[in-house]
A and B are shown apart, each in its own frame.
Chain A
Amino acid sequence: MMSVPIEHGFVLVALLWAIGLVGLLSRKNTLFMLMSMEIMLNAGALAFILAGSLWQQADGQVIYILILSIAAAEVGLGLALLIRLRQHIGDLNIDKLDEMKG
């Protein structure tokens, strides 16, 4: 169908991953942190798809499906926790959760 140098694909993966990481580290709002983690997960999924395309095998997509399930479960639980968090401390500032300090 097309021919893209495979390094470019992986560079894209790295780029997306990095962006997700920046968001994870800089944002205080837990919701945004979750979103950044989604971006990172997607980057990982892309890497697998690239590998599958490289080897012309379906295994990449299978792994992609598993990643999908993981993302789904994680988001479900994460959002539930976020709701709890909001009830507990009023806003979603993750820096307020520092009782394990010292």
Chain B
Amino acid sequence: MSGQILFYVSASIAVLASLFVVTNKNAVHALLYLVVSLLALAMCFYLLGAPFAAALQIIVYAGAIMVLFVFAVMIFNISQTDIDREKQWLTWQSWVGPSLLVMVLLGEIVFVIVSQQNWATNSTSVAQIELVDARAVGSLLFGPYLLAVEIASFLLLAGLVGGYHLAKELPKKSTKQGGSQ
């Protein structure tokens, strides 16, 4: 019972935080709100019986990826002019079109979800949700999903190398490159 309420609370926090992220003018504030949203989602994961995923969400997503974001923002060195510019870019006209479109899409998806007659073995209420712990996940990872793990590691390697290469300082041979402030 309390689990239900907790779930709804975390869900609404996540939604609200996301809204704040999207409409913010300050990059750092937006990032912090994003972290809040991620943490709320981690809570949801836990309540759904996926503690391992919840832990990973906090450690990796909120802890590593968001920190990466923060580092990048610090490199960008945003100042008041940037914030003002954001304000300038964010007129209400720029929200109208996307909002309408997204509401249409949202409506369609919700309609699809709600009109499903049967959700597999589950009815509208489920008696008990068991925890699916790390052990189960691990045995899957080393079992059927072994290849996927390897490929994921390729991906990460590519990301690493690409990130290093793209952010490398350019050799100062010509003045044709875009001027940096």
Interface residues on chain B, size class: 35 or more
Q: Which B residue's beta carbon lies closest to that of A23?
A: B22
Contact code string A5-34 (vs B, CB < 8 Å = 1, else 0): 111111110111111111101111101101
The number of A-B residue pairs with CB atoms under 8 Å apart is 253
Contact code string B166-181 (vs A, CB < 8 Å = 1, else 0): 1100000000011111
Known contacts A14-B113, A19-B19; decide if A76 and B49 are in contact (CB<8 Å). no
List residues of A (54-102) whose CB comes within 8 Å of B's CBs: 54-62, 64-66, 68-77, 79-84, 86-93
Given contacts A7-B113, A82-B72, contact A68 B61 (CB under 8 A): yes
Main secondary structure of the interface of B (DSSP, over half): helix
Q: Which of A1, A18, A62 contacts B49 (CB 8 A)?
A: A1
A interface, how many residues as a size bin? 35 or more
Binding site for B on A (CB under 8 A): 1-12, 14-23, 25-29, 31-32, 34-36, 38-39, 42, 45-46, 49-50, 52-62, 64-66, 68-77, 79-84, 86-93
